[in-house]
Structure 1
């Protein structure tokens, strides 16, 4: 009798590779963002899509605050076409980053969601910046 893990066979390698490639084209994680920020080789705009009060209490270093409901084509003209945006919100219990990513994608902007959000960032032991 197969276990709960093996009762559904693993996908063929080609299908698994396509699946995980697609996921990585849509998502990044806290560690990769942190390492990129630390290296000084940031090639994306980091958007905290929570409200201003939450942003002021603590956000990722260098993040810009742009609540997901304020992402519009007109607002995004400040950045050249092709600019990659990495969006995050409070964490896995919040869909603000998904909403932001959807808005950006609908206006033709490249976007990745940072999985884990603030919760994941803190879980990794990384520091937040606070507004003073």
Structure 2
């Protein structure tokens, strides 16, 4: 038997549930940039969950900064609960987006996470706002 099939593939219905759930939690940079470039930004807000200095250096156009450490009922009281908050951080090696999405969900907000963070965004050649000379030094900054 092959190593690939040592554990059998799931039944189609199980795969549908699993992969459907995965996509409910994440959006990829290509889908997000296509929406932004087409002006389709209704229904969601892009959220940088790292520290303010990281947000100032490089961010996705139109993103707001909500550092995950600062998310409380008081700091989120003016956020629109009808929107989906798409959280991102530095990369797949940083979990600030996960921590931010969790905190927002605990506070009653609908959330998704951007796959790969801003490093994947930049690696794909997508535009950023901020201080361009600092873009090369992207780091976790949680």
Query: What TM-score does the superposition give when structure 2 sets the normalisation length?
Result: 0.87
| Distance in 2 (alpha carbons) for counterparts of 1:114 and 1:3 | 34
| Distance in 2 (alpha carbons) for counterparts of 1:52 and 1:79 | 18
Q: Secondary structure at the match of 2:109?
A: coil
Q: How does 1:1-132 map to 2 (within 5 A)?
A: 2-42=1-41, 43-131=43-131
In the TM superposition, residue 23 of structure 1 has moved relative to its aligned partner by 0.7
> Which deviations, in whole Å up to 9, do the C-alpha atoms of 1:52-103 show, x marking residues without a partner?
1111111100101111111122222222222110000000110000100100
Aligned residues: 131
For structure 2, the residue ranges without an aligned partner over 5 or more in a row are 133-142
In the TM superposition, residue 131 of structure 1 has moved relative to its aligned partner by 4.8
Query: What TM-score does the superposition give when structure 1 sets the normalisation length?
Result: 0.93
| Distance in 2 (alpha carbons) for counterparts of 1:77 and 1:30 | 28
Root-mean-square deviation over aligned CA pairs: 1.3
| Distance in 1 (alpha carbons) for counterparts of 2:75 and 2:10 | 42
Q: Secondary structure at the match of 1:75?
A: coil
In the TM superposition, residue 35 of structure 1 has moved relative to its aligned partner by 0.8
Q: Say if 1:131 and 1:66 are closer, same or farther in 2 by CA, change over 3 A.
A: farther
